[in-house]
Amino acid sequence: MNVPLAERIRPKNLDDYISQQHLVGKNGALTQHIKNGIIPSLILWGPPGIGKTTLANIIATTSQRPFYSLSAINSGVKDVRDIIDKAKQSGGLFTTKNPILFIDEIHRFSKSQQDSLLGAVEKGWVTLIGATTENPSFEVIPALLSRCQVYILNAFDKADLVALIDRALHTDTILKDKKITLKETEALLHLSGGDARRLLNIFELIVGNNDSVEITNALVLQSVQQNPARYDKTGEQHYDIISAFIKSIRGSDPNAAVYWLARMIEGGEDVKFIARRLLILASEDIGNANPTALILANNTFQAVSIIGNPESRIILSQCATYLASSPKSNASYKAIGDAQELVRKTGDLSVPLPLRNAPTKLMKDLNYGKDYKYAHSYESNFAEQEFLPNDIANTKLYEPGNNARENQLRVYLKSLWRKKYNY
């Protein structure tokens, strides 16, 4: 049997696992758990071809636990219960290591299928490892999610993908005996879409049965450009087209926005996924330039959740064209980003005494809340005082955008704070 390259070089241990250093690096969040064999039930969330299944196998092998695998695509409640029964039996009476149940694409499980896992996870009959390309907050039921740790796997960067090709060239039993020259890699990496499996499949296709080959961008494009481009809801097209959709709205082009929307609808994309992205964009890219955008986007999400296909396309089109035609501002987005960075740099600064809560006499005696100026007791409902910790007093984090609505906010803030924040 001709085993694909991706399978031939699949890592067997953590040392061979590329990327995800925040999880399995020297100081990774999962490293010690895996080495000690203390594995919580967990959800691995990341794009396709990033190594979720591989990591699950490594966890099972390293911790020396029985490993059971199901795919949500072709498994029902009965399959889940059968596996759980087998897992209970394999656990035995003389071992403390419960089996691992790996469920690929767990977001495709229905509520009843996910419900069938609850008892086994809660009682410790199995350690669940779920893999998903969708946000588990929306696709995994709360009861199951609360029993699992969620770990995010980041997309491969260029260095990771190049390292993957290099490993294939030097370790694969078939490729290492060939004379392969990587003259150019841009097209190869681009067409992979960050998907390691797709990258290796393309690479194997290009090399073929040739004993000697020089890989160039032209050769890559010539070899794969005839492949029909289909919309894969969990693949490259999914990420590329939603990216084009969002960027078209951000760029105030309602025509391009509705085109990419049509591409997703015709491809069978989840309407709730589209609506969630519109909801995020309404705050991130429009914000206070037009606060109504967030209200409309939220109502859109609620509406498509109720209506479903095919009528949701109309609601999504209305929202997308409105957001694209709206004034833009990322001031709020930048403000919270700058604020978080400031928090990471300055640590847990003390809350100024006037701003502290004083529910007890002791706290009042310690001057908690003393000298606080209640804004509504002053003219124009404003009293100048310092609301930031002393170490970062006078720091401006919110810079209103240059649009009609936020320019009004700028004028108002300047009238209140005068020269304090330099509005």
The CATH number of whichever domain residue 200 belongs to comes to: 1.10.8.60
Same domain assignment for residues 42 and 123: yes
Residues with Cβ within 8 Å of 316's Cβ and at least 6 positions away in sequence, in order, are 261, 265, 271, 274, 275, 278, 300, 304
pLDDT in tens, 222-277: 887 644 445 555 555 677 889 999 999 999 999 999 999 999 998 888 899 999 99
Q: Are residues 124 and 167 in the same domain?
A: no
Look at residues 218, 232, 208 and name the one whose alpha carbon lies nearest to residue 184. Answer: 218
pLDDT at 91: 55
Percent of the residues in the chain that have a pLDDT greater than 90, as a whole number: 45
**Same-domain pairing of 77 and 29:** yes
Tell me if 414 is assigned to some domain.
no
**The domain boundary residue, chosen from 325, 347, 382:** 325
Cα–chain center distance at 299: 23
In a domain, 166, yes or no: yes
The residue-averaged pLDDT of 138-163 equals 89
| Portion of the chain with pLDDT greater than 70, in percent | 95
User: For 98-134, how does the pLDDT look when each residue is reduced to its tens digit (9 = 90+)?
Assistant: 888 999 989 888 888 898 899 889 888 889 999 998 8
Domain end position, chosen among 295, 325, 355: 325
Instruction: Based on the fold, state whether residues 213 and 251 are members of the same structural domain.
Output: no
Looking at the fold, whether 113 and 77 belong to one and the same domain comes out as yes
Q: How far, in Å, CA of 313 to CA of 261, rounded?
A: 8
The CATH code of the domain that includes 117 is 3.40.50.300
Same domain, 28 and 139: yes
Helix, strand and coil in the chain, % to nearest 5: 55, 10, 35
Assigned domain for 406 exists: no
pLDDT at position 137, please? 84
90: in domain: yes
User: Could you list the residue range(s) of the whole structural domain that residue 205 is in?
Assistant: 158-224
The residue among 188, 186, 178, 183 whose CA lies nearest residue 216 is 183
pLDDT: which is higher, 248 or 3: 248
Per-residue pLDDT tens for 34-57?
Answer: 877 788 899 999 888 889 999 999
- Look up the CATH number of the domain holding residue 288: 1.20.272.10
Same domain? 87 vs 178:
no
Peptide bond preceding 327 in cis form (omega within 30 of 0): no
State residue 237's pLDDT score.
66
Distance CA 140, CA 130 (A): 10
The average confidence (pLDDT) of the chain is: 88
* Statement to judge: residues 220 and 288 lie in one domain: no
Residues with Cβ < 8 Å from 420, sequence gap 6 or more? 384, 394
Residue 197 has pLDDT above 60, yes or no: yes
Tens digit of each residue's pLDDT (9 = 90 or more) over 332-367:
999 999 999 999 999 889 899 999 988 888 888 888
380 exposure class (CB count in 10 Å sphere: 0-12, 13-18, 19+): exposed
Q: Specify the pLDDT at position 195.
A: 84
Residue 233 has a pLDDT of: 56
Q: Decide which of 325, 360, 392 is a domain's last residue.
A: 325
Same domain, 201 and 293: no
Maximum average pLDDT range among 22-26, 80-84, 156-160, 336-340: 336-340
Domain count, the chain: 3
Q: Check residue 95 and give its pLDDT.
A: 47
Residue 224: exposure state from Cβ atoms within 10 A (0-12, 13-18, ≥19): middle
pLDDT at residue 93 tops 80: no
Confidence band (pLDDT; 50, 70, 90) for 324?
Answer: very high
Please check whether residue 344 lies inside any domain of the structure.
no
Question: What is the pTM assigned to this prediction?
Answer: 0.57
Which of 23, 14, 19, 11 shows the shortest CA–CA distance to 63? Answer: 14
* pLDDT for residue 234: 53
- pLDDT class for 82, splitting at 50, 70, 90? confident
